[in-house]
Amino acid sequence: ETGVTQTPRHLVMGMTNKKSLKCEQHLGHNAMYWYKQSAKKPLELMFVYNFKEQTENNSVPSRFSPECPNSSHLFLHLHTLQPEDSALYLCASSQDIYRGDGNTEAFFGQGTRLTVV
Amino acid sequence: AQSVTQPDIHITVSEGASLELRCNYSYGATPYLFWYVQSPGQGLQLLLKYFSGDTLVQGIKGFEAEFKRSQSSFNLRKPSVHWSDAAEYFCASNNDYKLSFGAGTTVTVRA
């Protein structure tokens, strides 16, 4: 138990569906992240939020839409996805995003395994 | 741009043998460096981290890593591997407020 909880753990959706991934952290952290993990590829950073404000959008297609209503919750809204979007989506949090104070280690959830059919 | 390289895609080691996983980083300043482990179907768990100071850092599960600036390396080691160490291992660095991960090394442990 890392203090970061992701739901659902598994999701199968059609290309015309709309679904959302949820992430919740109980660590009092200020920063939250979405990563995409595809087979045989490095983890790809998708979005970064710090104090509920988006600080990074790593050229992610608009069919992925993040939402951060507060520092403890992060959503990833999905619509009209493609089969190549099938992957493990990992949420992470850290105390802060700035390296100056050293509190930048990330704590990860168990991920949502997404399959687009 | 900061990048992290893990040269070995897959390593097989016998139970009880020693293990060393390689990690190289490319960046001018000293990065913050991490090693994470991922068991099948799970998220990433932090094994250890290096920010500054002693270049040999101890982590959980009997792992250690050594930062070598001259070689731009941060290799992970374990003296005696257990079957439960079979997993995927990721090296990561943090320089400009985001983690950059290597491609990972899969470790297989044979009896």
Contact A42 B49 (CB under 8 A): no
Nearest CA in chain A to B98: A97
Q: Cα-flanking dihedrals φ and ψ of residue B71, to 5°?
A: -110, 0
By C-alpha distance, the chain A residue nearest B52 is: A102
Q: Which structure tokens are listed for A53? A: 């404000």
Cβ within 8 Å, pair B41-A102: no
Q: pLDDT value at position A9?
A: 95
For the ranges A83-92, B15-24, B29-38, B61-70, the lowest mean pLDDT is seen at B29-38
- Give me the mean pLDDT over the A80-88 stretch: 95
Over residues B63-79, mean pLDDT: 95
pLDDT in tens, A45-80: 999 998 888 888 888 999 999 999 999 999 999 999
Contact A108 B101 (CB under 8 A): no
Give the Cα separation of B5 and A101 in Å (integer): 25
Residues in A closer than 8 angstroms to B36, CB to CB, are 108
Q: Smallest CA–CA separation between B15 and chain A, in Å?
A: 25
CB contact under 8 A, A110 and B99: no
**Confidence (pLDDT) at A103:** 54
> Does the beta carbon of B60 lie under 8 angstroms from any beta carbon of chain A?
no
| Contact with chain B for residue A104, Cβ under 8 A | yes
List the single residue in A41, A90, A99 with the smallest CB-CB distance to B43. A90
pLDDT of B96 higher than 70: no
Q: Is the pLDDT of residue B15 over 80?
A: yes
Q: Are A43 and A33 in contact (CB under 8 A)?
A: no
B46 touches chain A (CB under 8 A): yes
Name the pLDDT band for A87 (thresholds 50, 70, 90). Answer: very high
How confident is residue A99, by pLDDT bands cut at 50, 70 and 90? low
Residue A20's pLDDT band, with cuts at 50, 70 and 90, is very high
Nearest to A81 by CA among A62, A63, A66, A65: A63
Q: State how far Cα B42 lies from the chain centre.
A: 17
Q: Does A82 touch chain B (CB under 8 A)?
A: no
